[in-house]
Amino acid sequence: MNKPERNSRAERGSAKTKLVITLCILFLIGHAGLNFVPVAYEGESFKQEMQTAVVQGLASPVRGAKPTELVKLKLQKAARDNNLPDDTFMDVKQNGNNIQARVFYTKPINILPFGIFTYNYDFDHTATPAGFLMKSFD
The 10s digit of each residue's pLDDT in 68-81 is: 889 999 999 999 99
- CA 115-119-123 angle, to 5 degrees, is 145
Read off the pLDDT of each residue in 98-111 and give the average, rounded to a whole number.
94
| Alpha-carbon distances of 77 from 5, 22, 49, 82, rounded to whole Å | 72, 43, 10, 9
pLDDT at 95: 85
54 in a structural domain:
yes
Q: Per the domain annotation, does 10 fall within a domain?
A: no
For the chain, percent of residues with pLDDT exceeding 90: 62
- This prediction has a pTM of 0.79
**20 assigned to some structural domain:** yes
In a domain, 6, yes or no: no
CA 136 and chain centroid, separation: 33
Look up the domain containing 22 and give its range: 16-137
Question: What residues have CB less than 8 Å from 129, skipping those under 6 apart?
Answer: 51, 54, 55, 58, 59, 98, 99
Query: What does pLDDT average to over the chain?
Result: 87
Residue 138 reports pLDDT greater than 50: no
Q: Is residue 84 part of a domain?
A: yes
- Count up the domains in the chain and report the number: 1
